[in-house]
Amino acid sequence: MPMLALYIHIPFCLRKCNYCDFFSVTTLNDWEERYVDSLCKSISNKELFDQNKEPIYKLDGKPIIDTIYVGGGTPSLLSEKSFDRIFQVLYENFSFDSNIESTLEVNPATVDKEKLLFLRGYFNRLSVGCQSFRDIELSSLGRLHTSEEAIETVETAHKVGFENISIDLMFKIPFQTLDTFKNTLKITQDLPVNHISAYELTFEENTPFWENMTLLKEQINSESDFDKCLGDLTFFKRYEVSNYAKDGYESKHNLNYWHNGEYFGFGAGAVGYIDCVRYKYICDLEKYCDNNELEYIESLGPKGIAFENLMLGLRMTEGFPVGKVTNYLNPIEGEIFLEKVNSLKDYVILENGILRATQRGMDVLNSTILELYTWE
């Protein structure tokens, strides 16, 4: 039975990080109650319509949710009262699978033992934004926590009962060397962590890092083989281009994305994907809180679905059934696609109907996908 996921976006942060282009604001105290009111309204709405009053979805009964992910922003900043209200509305409108994976993003030093004990009542998985375990690197990123606080957050979460803990790490960041990254990975392996999401720093427009890109690139060690360090991790296996997990701790929520599964999205800036229709709520607190305004709606036709399956499926090391592309193309387009696959054997492998990227293909995944995108 296909999975069904649910994402909630909480856009509040104490401070915007230097590299971040996600929708976030630093006005929690002014907006929390009003935002949660609007969020609960959108969750309890059984119907969502586009501009032409056509239904994006219309719910009958209470859909069964397999995974919940509350991200941001820094959702761990919300008050206990706000979490109670949100989950009360969720329980009223959705059913939860008995084996549900329920994840909360947490930034170090934004939760103490008491808050974590409370959160354990709603969540069974944490994603902790550590990024690094070296203070000068954290400071360059604009993070507010120290390496000691990050370690303490992970250890305390485990002590209060969180057995499924993921951390985010970044590489090719200012002041980082191969040795300091190796030390961050050593500390990670000594912690009660089951999952690692590791991302190379990218320079995004409208961020402080974008404005200082030239100077910052002089401080970044871009030649070292950081990926190899990740590949040498003990007990962690790479299962997606940026994700590593111990056996049985792969992120169910993210796997649903990469399998191009369906998911509801709620909150300003949140994206949902139901019945081949993708929608996004506007990245504007005022407009979202006034009327849950949508930023866009797009309906994917067969060729759009083929591209989504290709783009998302190749991210997984296990690959995906090639029919998830060819079945959505006409015979000529399918033949051209398979010819392109055969011409890129250093980058992708098609074996027993499964298409997957090689290590070389993973290293240049975006360009590999574009090479394979042979239809319009």
Judgement on whether residues 367 and 229 belong to the same structural domain of the protein: no
Burial category of 128 from C-beta neighbours within 10 Å (exposed 0-12, middle 13-18, buried 19 and up) = buried
Q: How many CB atoms lie within 10 A of CB 355?
A: 24
Separation between Cα atoms, residue 216 and residue 40, nearest integer Å: 41
Q: How many CB atoms lie within 10 A of CB 309?
A: 23
Residue 122 in tokens: 């709603």
Position 275 in a domain: no
Position 295 in a domain: no
Taking only the tens place, the pLDDT of each residue in 142-197 is 899 999 999 999 999 999 999 999 999 999 888 888 999 999 999 999 999 999 99
Residue 313 in tokens: 């499926």
Buried/exposed 246-263: b ≥16 CB within 10 Å, e otherwise: beebbbbbbbbbbebbbb
- Given a cut of 60, whether residue 306 has pLDDT beyond it is yes
Judgement on whether residues 338 and 204 belong to the same structural domain of the protein: no
- List residues bridging with 171 in a β-sheet: 200
SS3 at position 57: strand
Q: Do the Cβ atoms of 141 and 173 come closer than 8 Å?
A: yes
Judgement on whether residues 238 and 109 belong to the same structural domain of the protein: yes
- Given a cut of 70, whether residue 229 has pLDDT beyond it is yes
User: In this structure, what CATH number is given to the domain that contains residue 313?
Assistant: 1.10.10
- Given a cut of 60, whether residue 223 has pLDDT beyond it is no
Domain count, the chain: 2
Separation between Cα atoms, residue 265 and residue 57, nearest integer Å: 12
Q: Where among 238, 258, 278 does a domain terminate? A: 258
Q: Give me the amino acid identity at 172.
A: K
Return the residue matching tokens 């649903």: 256
- Given a cut of 60, whether residue 283 has pLDDT beyond it is yes
* Model confidence band, residue 21 (pLDDT cutoffs 50, 70, 90): confident
Separation between Cα atoms, residue 101 and residue 69, nearest integer Å: 8
* Model confidence band, residue 56 (pLDDT cutoffs 50, 70, 90): confident
Judgement on whether residues 104 and 162 belong to the same structural domain of the protein: yes
Which residues contact residue 359 at a Cβ distance below 8 angstroms, ignoring those fewer than 6 apart?
Answer: none
Taking residues 12-20, what's their average pLDDT? 82
Of 43-47, 92-96, 356-360, least confident by mean pLDDT is 43-47
Q: How many CB atoms lie within 10 A of CB 329?
A: 18
Strands 125-131, 164-171: pairing kind: parallel
Residue 186: which of 233, 147, 131 has the closest Cα? Answer: 233
Q: What is the pLDDT of residue 224?
A: 58
Q: Give me the amino acid identity at 90.
A: L
Separation between Cα atoms, residue 231 and residue 234, nearest integer Å: 9
Judgement on whether residues 250 and 323 belong to the same structural domain of the protein: no
Position 113 in a domain: yes
Return the residue matching tokens 């997957």: 356
- Report pTM: 0.93
Position 83 in a domain: yes
Domain housing 244 = 4-258
Burial category of 368 from C-beta neighbours within 10 Å (exposed 0-12, middle 13-18, buried 19 and up) = buried
* Model confidence band, residue 307 (pLDDT cutoffs 50, 70, 90): very high
SS3 at position 194: coil
User: In this structure, what CATH number is given to the domain that contains residue 220?
Assistant: 3.30.750.200
Give how far the C-alpha of residue 70 lies from the chain's centroid of Cα atoms, to the nearest Å: 10
